[in-house]
């Protein structure tokens, strides 16, 4: 009899395991890799069957993945949208199939009734925190800034540019002199920084670099060093993400500040989904994660080790 009960319980558990499709952008940055790792960990801990799809930076691959998840009849979809526009049809198809969609880390321009909730930071605020750090650091000194933007058309590239400019308002001594996309990758960060250095008197005319993510900054500091300058002192460096490699550079004095974006978007996303599955609880439309500033005064070596310990 007891064996029968155990078998029944197991079958019931197996039958109730939820399946979630995750359309990830790709693996352009250390942060993105950490988000993927933590999402898989979170799913495993909760007994969720995660179907992972890597879009390799292409929106059409993400749309195809959403359609495949809908056809499979998954219980929910996690979507980290590479760009902000062009999602209406795919999201409508998921909605028509009663499949809740949760956006991770980036926003879409679609109506918010097409998704259950969005987990992410206030991306404009991140840019403001980075800009405010620069304002506070340079004071009244003149400062020519170069900017490495994220993927064109992505919500973090749009909002982090806006936020940074918001903080610079009224500080005419600080001027953004060059701005170009580095597509959130280390290699393009280095390449574009090389062209900035060349155009700006070998780098002598640059006071600060603002990178929309840490990986581009890590690539850029390589270019700065190859140009014979010291990143972190000859050129100030501020970025966004707070990934381990950036803290290593910070411990070496080669970068100055970063704004943390937690890669654990899946934790709050699965919490919201589990409540929704249990009794239909509707989460808020936006679940906001924290944006904390880290500088060289914040034990970068310790922060590096802490993140490594978390599996980033």
Residues with Cβ < 8 Å from 197, sequence gap 6 or more? 203, 206, 223, 224, 227, 229
Work out whether 159 is an interface residue with ligand AHR (CB under 6 A). Answer: no
CB closer to ligand AHR out of 156 and 231 = 156
Work out whether 213 is an interface residue with ligand AHR (CB under 6 A). Answer: yes
Nearest alpha-carbon partner for 126 in 158, 169, 104, 79 = 158
Work out whether 102 is an interface residue with ligand AHR (CB under 6 A). Answer: no
Work out whether 258 is an interface residue with ligand AHR (CB under 6 A). Answer: no
CB closer to ligand AHR out of 81 and 100 = 81
Work out whether 240 is an interface residue with ligand AHR (CB under 6 A). Answer: yes
Work out whether 149 is an interface residue with ligand AHR (CB under 6 A). Answer: no
Work out whether 203 is an interface residue with ligand AHR (CB under 6 A). Answer: no
The 106-145 contact track toward ligand AHR, x by CB under 6 A, reads x---------------------------------------
Nearest alpha-carbon partner for 256 in 207, 191, 302, 289 = 207
| Sign of the alpha-carbon dihedral angle for 121, 126, 128, 133 | positive
Say how far residue 81 (Cα) sits from the centre of its chain: 11
Buried b or exposed e, range 100-137, using 16+ CB within 10 angstroms = bbbbbbbbbebeeebbbbbbbbbbbbbbbbbbbbbbeb
CB closer to ligand AHR out of 29 and 222 = 29
Question: What H or E segment, with its residue span, contains residue 108?
Answer: none
Work out whether 105 is an interface residue with ligand AHR (CB under 6 A). Answer: yes
CB closer to ligand AHR out of 119 and 207 = 119
Are 197 and 206 in contact, with CB atoms under 8 Å apart? yes
Q: Which residues make beta-bridge pairs with 51? A: 21
Which 3 state secondary structure label does DSSP give 68? Answer: helix
- Rounded CA-CA distance 218/189 in Å is 8
Work out which of 22, 23, 24, 32 binds ligand AHR, going by CB under 6 A: 32
Angle at 50 between CA 48 and CA 51, to 5 degrees: 155
CB closer to ligand AHR out of 42 and 121 = 121
Q: Which stretch binds ligand AHR (CB under 6 A): 26-34, 70-78, 94-102, 292-300?
A: 26-34
Give the per-residue SS3 of 168-234: HCCCCCEEEEEEEECCCCHHHHHHHHHHHHHHCHHHCCCCEEEECCHHHHHHHHHHHHHCCCCECCC
Nearest alpha-carbon partner for 286 in 274, 267, 268 = 268
Which 3 state secondary structure label does DSSP give 102? Answer: strand
Please state the closest distance from residue 79 (CB atom) to ligand AHR, in A. Answer: 12
The 264-293 contact track toward ligand AHR, x by CB under 6 A, reads ------------------------------
Q: Which stretch binds ligand AHR (CB under 6 A): 7-15, 24-32, 107-115, 174-182?
A: 24-32
CB closer to ligand AHR out of 27 and 173 = 27
Please state the closest distance from residue 189 (CB atom) to ligand AHR, in A. Answer: 11
Q: Which stretch binds ligand AHR (CB under 6 A): 27-35, 71-79, 174-182, 268-276?
A: 27-35
CB closer to ligand AHR out of 148 and 273 = 148
Say how far residue 142 (Cα) sits from the centre of its chain: 31
Work out whether 211 is an interface residue with ligand AHR (CB under 6 A). Answer: no
Footprint on this chain of ligand AHR (rule: CB under 6 A):
28-29, 31-32, 105-106, 156, 184, 213, 215, 240-241, 261
């Amino acid at each position: 009899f007891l064996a029968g009960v155990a078998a029944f319980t197991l079958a019931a558990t197996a039958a109730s395991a939820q399946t979630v499709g995750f359309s990830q952008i790709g693996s352009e940055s250390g942060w993105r890799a950490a988000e993927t790792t933590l999402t898989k960990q979170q799913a495993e801990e909760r007994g969720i069957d995660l179907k992972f799809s890597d879009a390799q930076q292409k929106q059409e691959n993400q749309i195809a993945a959403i359609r495949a998840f809908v056809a499979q009849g998954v219980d929910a979809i996690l979507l980290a949208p590479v760009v902000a526009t062009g999602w209406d049809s795919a999201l409508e198809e998921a909605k028509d199939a009663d499949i809740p969609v949760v956006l991770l880390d980036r926003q879409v321009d679609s109506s918010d009734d097409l998704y259950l909730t969005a987990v992410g930071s206030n991306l404009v605020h991140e840019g403001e925190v980075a800009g405010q750090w620069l304002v506070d650091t340079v004071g009244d000194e003149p400062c020519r800034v170069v900017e490495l933007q994220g993927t064109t058309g992505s919500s973090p590239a749009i909002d982090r540019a806006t936020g940074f400019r918001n903080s610079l308002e009224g500080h005419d001594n600080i001027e953004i002199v060059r701005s170009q996309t580095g597509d959130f990758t280390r290699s393009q960060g280095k390449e574009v920084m090389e062209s900035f250095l060349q155009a700006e008197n070998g780098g002598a005319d640059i006071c600060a670099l603002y990178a929309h993510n840490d990986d581009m900054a890590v690539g850029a500091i390589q270019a700065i060093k190859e140009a014979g300058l010291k990143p972190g002192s000859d050129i100030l460096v501020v970025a966004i993400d707070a990934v381990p490699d950036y803290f290593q550079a910070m411990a070496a004095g080669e970068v100055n500040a970063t704004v943390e974006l937690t890669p654990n978007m899946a934790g709050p996303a699965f919490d919201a989904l589990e409540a929704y599955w249990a009794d239909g609880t509707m989460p808020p439309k936006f679940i906001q994660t924290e944006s904390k500033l880290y500088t060289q005064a914040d034990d970068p070596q310790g922060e590096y080790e802490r993140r490594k310990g978390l599996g980033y």
